[in-house]
Structure 1
Amino acid sequence: MIARIAIEFSLNPRLLLAFLEYQSGWVYGFPQSQQAIDYPMGYQNEDVQDLYQQAAWFASRVMDGYYGWKEGRRLVIGFNDGRFLRLAPELNAGSVGLMNAFTYLYNYDNWAQLIYAEDNFFTFYEQMFGNPWIRAQQVEPLIPADVVQPTMILPFEPNIKWAFTGGPHAAWSAADVWAALDFAPPSSETGCHESPAWVVASISGLVVRSGNGVVVVDMDGDGYEQTGWTLLYLHIATKDRVPVGTWVEVGDRIGHPSCEGGRSTGTHVHIARRYNGEWVPADGPLPFVLSGWTARASSEIYKGWLTRGTEIIYASTSATYNTHIARDD
């Protein structure tokens, strides 16, 4: 279960395991109370019970802080007791991610103990897995300054009008990283329905994950989602979905759009990029560019535009004419 959360959210499994053990003793022993069984990450909410939901909740809160800090949206953190704390500019995104998650579980005084006391969480983590700073030095920077996005095409077949239904928004679950875009196929039906349209590979690479509505293409073909460029496709129907181990070229069919794999109000495909395991915001220093169309974010999630020269396509779930886009390559 922890491995699944780590791969879906693209979060270090050591962090998940360390906090799980810190909160409820699941890793080295057995939880000693019903509360620890129901709420293994310590978040007491009847709608968020069992290990999967609790770990997903924790991962989302860490990502909120991590990417919110990197993208300039998370400058303060708030506590349940009404206090707010402005974040120091020298902090790194990983620390802010943890600090943010802990605010949902502790008041300020207990939070400060968890962060700064002699027996703080970071000391606990190091006892389990060693020094995280030394490990980080072996892989940083995750996104070098000179990296560029490889050429990618729109994820559907040419000369067919799809609708741009979702501008930059959460890459996975509700985490605050605006890395994804949505496209819906042409249809006279609304809502969730079977579509004969094809989603195609925007990049060439190896299919390393296929199931539960997801297809992940690994561009460098080494089989690891944590290295190089990968592209996530969500809401891919079971029928005709490309299997794991398939090498796809640009434009190859990978499956049909659907509502499978997560919450959805209508048939579409959701796509997001990662580089070295890190979600890449759709608008920013490395904007999402598909068939020459560049993604731009609005101040509102799911809003935004695709621009190409003087042409502009607007994102809207209504799929009106000004959302229509086609591959013309």
Structure 2
Amino acid sequence: MRKLAQLVFLILFTTSCAAPGSSLWGNVATPTPPGTATPTRVSYALVSTTTPIPTSTPQMVLPLSDTPIPEAPAMPTLPPVNTAGPMLLLYAHSGDTLEIIAKRANVQLDQVISDVVLPAPKALLDPGTLLLVPDQLPAERTSNGLMLPDSEFVLSPSAIGFDTIEYVNNAGGYLSTYTEYLMSNGATSGGRAVEQIAYNNSIHPRLLLTIIELESRWVRGKPTNFAQDDYPLGYVDNQYKGLYRQMIWAVSELSVGYYGWRSGELTEITFDDGSSISLSPSLNAATVGLMYFFSKTRNREAWAQAVAAYPGLYTEMFGDPWPQANLIEPLFPPGLTQPELSLPFQPGQVWAYTGGPHSAWERKGALAALDFAPGAIEQGCAKSDKWVVAPAPGLVVRTDTGVVILDLDGDGNEQTGWVLLFLHIGDESKVKVGTYLQKEDKIGHPSCTGGASTGTHIHFARKYNGEWILAGGALPFTLSGWVAGQGEGPYKGILVRDGITINASTSGAFETRVTRNTGE
């Protein structure tokens, strides 16, 4: 019995020791088997047990049938790559248009390509625009070298502060002692004559002085022969004898070259023997103006020598012109537009459009001016009680016989910004220098005073930064909404507004009448 009790106790003890998790000494930690990594604890984001509130499904609102649906803006289409053969690389200058570039390069409009979207054919290109055109010009043509910046050709901001008379006197040449009697001014010194010609024609005085020195040595020396005494600019014609008349001839030819290139009409130089040379389309207007001028008095060989000599002589007399030009040019900034201008007479009056685009000053040159004549019973140079009035606010910066210059930016400098020329203003009641005019303030009466005239009228022109703006060009003369257009020749032309066209005529016929309405 005692042995049976001991056996039962042993079985129960063994069973209790084998029970999992049971020990007489409590639970013993289980060792980690060798080579087994400690497991990484993974944390899980808590998920809300809140039941989400159902939301309504968004609805697409369709436009009504008569509501316009905006379209995506059209992407510009660049011109195709030109495969016409060798190409010329050009950069647009001030005043250039696609139409003008095509004329100079002798190509079609659609053959002018660029890396930018190009404007309409007659619109101004931004200066510096890169252009490619097929090389279709004759192999014999001028070089691409530039003789002078445009800003040293016209009466630009670079002329501010330059004293022509002082320079001439300091140079000590024959010009400093020269005097010529002029009908308008009486006895006139050489320096004063150069200054007057330069300002009237908006030509840089340094340009003229360099030409005079090259042709006759009048500025720093003395003439070396009798021809240079009477014809200091080399044009031998008895009608142009003496310095003043020689300069009148010279500025006309210089302007024909400069503005002929501007308009795209001049594309080659022709010499007296009938030979010609094409102008490189890379040239600027100043270089073409000088090339054209020198061709008027020289054969081809002498012309080439003068073209080569001029830049060096200019630098010798006045220093390197290009650093200053880089500060001033382009003369026409990108996006240039004409300010709002009214017709230059009082509202309610009827005047005649007697002259379409023609030369701004001399008989030949920039076709920048328009003519208007007041209605009158008498023909010819009859006295008029009508008033010429300011088309826009501005400061009167210069007057002369028959001349009033109105500076629209009011800085007092004729060489900067928009400037208006009024010619044939009578001396009686003419506005004074220094007067600031508001729009419609009185300038003076139309007359025949100042220059040749066959009848009472006004001659009206614009310039910007010293350069005449062609009346029928890319920035057409626009007055009270009337837009000027170029005709078949000087003095021909039209005014167009609201579908109505007026043709210019020097006869002042009924069909040429133009009226300025109140409020314009």
Q: Is TM > 0.5 for Structure 1 vs Structure 2?
A: yes
1:55 to 2:247 alignment? yes
* Mapping of residues 283-322 of structure 1, within 5 Å: 283-322=472-511
2:222 matched to which residue of 1? 30
Question: Is the CA contact 1:211–1:238 (under 8 Å) kept in the aligned structure 2?
Answer: no
How much does 1:81 deviate?
A: 2.1
Specify the SS of the correspondent of 1:317.
coil
Tell me how far apart the structure 1 counterparts of residues 313 and 331 of structure 2 sit (CA, whole Å). 25
Distance 1:30 1:213 in 2: 35
With CA pairs under 8 Å and 6+ residues apart, which has the higher RCO, 1 or 2?
1
CA distance in 2, matches of 1:180, 1:3: 22
Distance 2:289 2:441 in 1: 37
* Structure 1 match to 2:331: 142
Q: Within 2, Cα distance between the matches of 1:34 and 1:258?
A: 41
Q: Which residue matches 1:158? A: 347
Which structure 1 residue ranges, 4+ long, deviate > 6 Å from structure 2? none
Kept in 1, the 8 Å contact 2:294–2:307? The answer is no
Partner of 1:108: 300
Cα deviation 1:112-139 (Å, max 9, x = unaligned): 12224xxx12111111111223332221
Partner of 1:269: 458
1:184-203 to structure 2, matched below 5 A, reads 184-203=373-392
Q: Give 5+ residue unaligned stretches, structure 2.
A: 1-192
Compute the TM-score of the two structures, normalised by the length of structure 2.
0.61
Which of 280, 302, 308 is matched with 1:88 structurally? Answer: 280
Task: Classify the secondary structure of the residue corresponding to 1:74.
Answer: coil
Does the 8 Å CA contact 1:239/1:256 hold for their aligned counterparts?
A: yes
Name the amino acid aligned to 1:122: P
Q: Cα RMSD over matched residues?
A: 1.2
Letter in 2 for 1:175: K
1:67 to 247, 259, 266: 259
Deviation at 1:299, TM superposition (A): 2.0
Structure 1 unaligned residues grouped into runs of 5+: none
CA contact under 8 A between 1:157 and 1:327: conserved in structure 2? yes
Q: Distance in 1 between matches of 2:325 and 2:232?
A: 27
Deviations 1:198-224 (A, max 9, x none): 111112111111121110100111111
Counterpart residue type for residue 45 of structure 1: D
State the shift of 1:321 in Å. Answer: 1.7
SS of alignment partner, residue 425 of structure 2: coil
Q: Distance in 1 between matches of 2:197 and 2:478?
A: 28
Q: CA deviation at 1:301?
A: 1.5
In our comparison, the structure showing a higher alpha carbon Rg is 2
Paired AA for residue 20 in structure 1: I
- Post-superposition offset of 1:34: 3.0
What is the CA–CA distance in structure 2 between the aligned matches of 1:114 and 1:187, rounded to whole Å? 52
Question: Does structure 1 residue 248 correspond to structure 2 residue 434?
Answer: no
Per-residue Cα deviation, 1:218-272 (whole angstroms, up to 9, x for no partner): 0111111110100000111111111111111111111111111111111100100
C-alpha displacement at 1:12, in angstroms?
1.2
The aligned counterpart of 2:199 is 7
- For residue 327 of structure 1, what is the aligned residue in structure 2? 516
Residue 31 (structure 1) shift: 2.5
- Structure 1 CA distance for aligned equivalents of residues 373 and 229 of structure 2: 41
Q: Equivalent pairs: percent with the same residue?
A: 49
Query: Which 10-residue stretch deviates more, 97-106 or 258-267?
Result: 258-267
1:257 partnered with 2:449:
no
CA shift in 2, pair 1:135/1:81, >3 Å: farther
SS in structure 2 of the partner of residue 182 of structure 1? strand
1: CA distance between counterparts of 2:259 and 2:286? 9
CA distance in 2, matches of 1:292, 1:188: 28
8 Å contact from structure 2 (residues 392, 439) kept in 1: yes
Distance in structure 1 (CA, Å) of the matches to 2:297 and 2:320: 25
Q: Displacement of 1:145 after TM fit?
A: 2.4
Q: Which has the higher strand share?
A: 1
Question: In structure 2, which of residues 359, 362, 366 is the aligned counterpart of residue 170 of structure 1?
Answer: 359
Which one-letter code corresponds to 1:90 in the other structure? S
C-alpha separation in 2, matches of 1:21 and 1:70: 27
How much does 1:176 deviate?
A: 2.5
Cα displacement string for residues 55-94 of structure 1 (whole angstroms, at most 9, x for unaligned residues): 1211111111111001011112211222222211111110
* 2:373 corresponds to 1:181: no
| Matched residue count | 326
User: Is the CA contact (8 Å cut-off) linking 1:214 and 1:234 kept in structure 2?
Assistant: yes
Partner of 1:227: 416
- 2 CA distance for matches of 1:192 and 1:293? 27
Equivalent residue for 2:58? none
Kindly indicate whether the alpha-carbon contact (under 8 Å) linking 1:210 and 1:241 is maintained by their aligned counterparts in 2.
Answer: no
In 2, the alpha carbon distance for the partners of 1:215 and 1:194 equals: 18
Residue 301 of structure 1 aligns to which amino acid in structure 2? P
Letter in 1 for 2:365: D
Q: Which SS does the other structure have where 1:47 is aligned? A: helix
Q: Which residue of 1 aligns with 2:85?
A: none
1:204 aligns with 2:393: yes
Q: Secondary structure at the match of 1:16?
A: helix
